[in-house]
Amino acid sequence: MRQLIAGFFIMCLPALTLAAGGAGIPLDHMEPDHANKSSLQRGAALFTNYCMGCHSMEYARYKRVANDLGIPEELYEENLIFTGAKIGELMKISMDKEQAKAWFGNPPPDLTLESRLRGEDWIYSYMRGFYKDESRPLGVNNVVFSNVGMPHVLVDLQGLCAVEPQIGGRASVDPLSGSVVNDTVCPEWATEGSMTPKEYDAAMYDLTNFLSYMGDPVKLERERLGLFVLIFIAIFFVFAYLLNREYWKDVH
């Protein structure tokens, strides 16, 4: 019995570490949808254009991504591969890690499994968490990852928030004035971007959705197979039950 209880605790350990990972910083929630191909395609385009200069995805191949996302391989090769790599190659980049460390303080990590490491909510919040901070070498800081070495590469799209963005805050109605408070992440802008806050949030949804897919590319397939397995078990149960009854029929 004691062994059984110990075993049960060991079984719960991974869940405990997961729970501990998100503690502390309030985050905004996003629900990934790997079946939404157009969202994933927009996310892939954003990632290739704005992130792959610094971040690799070297545990994945272009071809797999093109096929999963329903992008024809020639189109993918023409528009979404800038390194001259072939479609069958791994998604590596040419940035030198040592040099990058000297430039940014930390080298930009590979992001193939980032969604497994930090979770989708973290990435979605992080990409919307940059703000102006003159005390930092690059003039920006991040509420989700304080003193981050990464520049705000999407500043042209989002603009730059003048104060700390309110990540994890819920929109509510102020009972005195009747006006809605907290409905936008950034109450005051230092510079405006080309997108409205809503458009930027939607773009970050797509980008996070893409990173979520990269971290778990077989999710849809797994869920589909899981359904068949459950149906099989249900049908098998009937036969197992009947057989069991047959065997025990004569035992009294």
Q: Which residues bind ligand HEC (CB under 6 A)?
A: 50-51, 53-55, 104-106, 108-109, 114, 117-118, 123, 126-127, 148-151, 153-154, 207
User: 27, 126 in Cβ contact below 8 A?
Assistant: no
105: left (phi over 0), alpha (psi -120 to 50) or beta: left
Q: Which is nearer to ligand HEC, 167 or 207 (CB)?
A: 207
Give the shortest CB-202-to-ligand HEC separation in angstroms: 14
Q: Residue with the closest Cβ to ligand HEC?
A: 51
Which residues partner with 129 through β-bridges?
Answer: none
Give the shortest CB-5-to-ligand HEC separation in angstroms: 36
Q: Which is nearer to ligand HEC, 115 or 184 (CB)?
A: 115
Q: Which is nearer to ligand HEC, 68 or 120 (CB)?
A: 120
How far is 47 from 49, CA to CA, in rounded Å?
A: 6
Q: Which is nearer to ligand HEC, 133 or 183 (CB)?
A: 133
Token pair listed for 25: 């910083």
Token pair listed for 36: 């939404």
Beta-carbon contacts of 150 under 8 Å, excluding residues fewer than 6 positions away, are 54, 104, 108, 142
Q: Which is nearer to ligand HEC, 43 or 186 (CB)?
A: 43
Give the shortest CB-19-to-ligand HEC separation in angstroms: 18
- φ, ψ of residue 112 to 5 degrees: the values are -55, -45
Task: For residue 141, give the H/E element and its range.
Answer: strand 140-142
User: 189, 216 in Cβ contact below 8 A?
Assistant: no
Q: Which is nearer to ligand HEC, 50 or 183 (CB)?
A: 50
At residue 86, what is the residue type? K
Give the shortest CB-73-to-ligand HEC separation in angstroms: 24
How far is 5 from 11, CA to CA, in rounded Å?
A: 10
Give the shortest CB-36-to-ligand HEC separation in angstroms: 18
Give the shortest CB-52-to-ligand HEC separation in angstroms: 8
